[in-house]
Amino acid sequence: MTAFKSGDPLTLNRLYGRSSGHKLRKGQQELVDRLLPQLSVPSEGDITSRALFGDDRPLHFEIGFGSGEHLAYRADLLPDHGFIGAEPFLNGVATALGHIRDQALRNVRLHMGDALEVLRRIPDRSLTMIYLLHPDPWPKARHAKRRMVNDGPMQLFADKLKSNGELRIATDHPVYLEWTLTVMQRHTDTLEWTAETPRDFLEPSGGWIETRYGAKSRREGRRPYYLRYRRR
């Protein structure tokens, strides 16, 4: 019998799920071997825009970037901003590297592993935006502690965001939506939900793109929800 272990991703310090899928194609493996080391977040020290890009610029952080479509889109849209993406899945990282190469993006750094390891090393009040788009919903109640939307990570997000910085969350899972709204009610002193009408969370705001996952979700009849929170 396995005992219940309380906590959340901030205290459990463990990644769940696969770290790789199908074997990488030759070109993808070359990107991982050659380009990833050039773009990887340093393994030690504070993580700042100056340390990563050599200057002071707005800094964005995407947690679990999947195949990197949104990350690459945002980085291309805002070339004078810096972007950090964290993703534990090797195949997603390889695909993201392809986007970065093809779009000649110079303002992206990647971490293949636990996003929270990197986030802890970012000085407080440094981030302009944090993106958490379609995280694993872990819909079973006994797995709720694995959900990224939990009290520990939300407090960490609030610590790292600048005043008026923004946290964007997207999900198409009703259990995760309800869970997120409940958790965020406990953080209204630091993170303010910006929605004023239903349209504000039923339709994406400017700067969002529909990724392949989002398109698949709509085809299968699931509605995505788009939640935006502003750091007070």
Catalytic position from the list 76, 136, 159, 200: 136
- Asked if residue 132 lies in contact with residue 63, where contact means CB atoms within 8 angstroms, the answer is yes
- Asked if residue 63 lies in contact with residue 147, where contact means CB atoms within 8 angstroms, the answer is no
Sheet holding 59-63, edge to edge: 108-111, 82-86, 59-63, 127-133, 161-171, 225-231, 191-193
Strands (E), 172-224: 191-193
Q: What is the DSSP letter of 40?
A: B
Question: How distant, in Å, are the alpha carbons of 31, 53, 99, 164, 175 from that of 93?
Answer: 9, 20, 10, 30, 28
Active site residue 151: no
- Asked if residue 83 lies in contact with residue 62, where contact means CB atoms within 8 angstroms, the answer is yes
Q: Which residue has the tokens 């050659």?
A: 34
> Which of the residues are catalytic?
136
